[in-house]
Amino acid sequence: MIVTLTANPSIDRTVDLPRALRRGEVQRALAVTSHPGGKGVNVARVLTAAGTPATAVLPATGDDLLVRALSETGLDYRVVPCASPARINLTLTEIDGTTTKINEPGHPLTAGERRQLADVLVELAGNARWVVLSGSLPPSVPDDWYVELLHRLRGVRVAVDTSDAPLRALARRLESTAPQLLKPNADELAQLTGLDPARLHGPVTVVPAAASVVARGVDAVLATLGVAGAVLVTAQGAWHATPPAITPRSTVGAGDAALAGYLLADLAGAAPADRLRLAVAYGSAAAALPGTELPSPHHVDPGVVSVTALDVVPYH
């Protein structure tokens, strides 16, 4: 089983536009769809669709639209009661696949609600092969809350996918509180390392940056690079995966799908190169789907992903 935490869940609403977004004008949508969201929820949905047991842990009100939407998906979830409903995240998708996201900040969690979430997470972690801490933190939650959770989850394999202040707080404590897996994009890798994000534009520069994170105690760094694919760096080596040519329709959830693909391959005992291959296959499949739709195994073809081993050269 895999357990995911989504501290700041959402209803993800996608508006498909028939042409390029034109600011200041009235535009009519081709379609509008809504799905339960938040990064941890997305990961759990992809895992469940692949037949791997997953439980999503999240805060929600008893009558929240999010809870009803989760029930309709068939996803296993555990809700900790909170005072406010889930935020609404809006995605505008243009005809060429260009995606604009407008995310609400979410609602504060009290100290008691955070404690209950942590307790449920630790309880479920006893039977989990991975725990995923994923996404932003709501207002009022301390930036170092993921660090606190990692301390409580010692002995469990943990993957972290976050950004900005929570990621920087973790970066300051990596030597003492390193997760087994980090999944940054290029901007988030810059936040982890303090490097200029403009320099992290491809495998040649991303690999040594990720290797510096591994040197601080993280077992593996899966760095997703959009159309450039992804890089995996471990203490044993580094690999770059090139995605297949696709027609992008929406990038929403692509990183979450990539993380789920990596975990699926890991559970199957795959070698690092094949874990990366399946991660990129899932991420590419997500980008080819409309709106917030997430891939199932029939969308995914790892055979079209090319993986190359790379040398790790110190970053200068």
Helix segments in 36-185, DSSP class H: 39-49, 65-73, 111-125, 145-152, 164-171
As beta bridge partners, residue 14 has 33, 91
Identify the helix (H) or strand (E) that includes residue 206: helix 203-214
Residue 96 falls in the annotated catalytic set: no
**Dihedral, CA of residue 185, residue 189, residue 192 and residue 193, to nearest 10:** 180
Closest CA to 128 of 40, 216, 60: 40
Based on the number of CB atoms within 10 Å of its own CB, is 264 exposed (0-12), middle (13-18) or buried (19 or more)?
A: buried
Beta bridge partners of 183: none
Q: In whole angstroms, how far apart are CA 297 and each of 23, 40, 121, 173, 275?
A: 38, 19, 27, 37, 15
CA gap 209, 212 in Å, rounded: 5
DSSP three-state, residue 216: coil
Backbone dihedral region of 306: left (phi > 0), alpha (psi from -120 to 50 degrees) or beta?
Answer: beta
Q: Beta strand 2-5 with 130-134: parallel, antiparallel or unpaired?
A: parallel
Candidate list 161, 256, 266, 274, residue with the active-site label: 256
Active site residues: 256
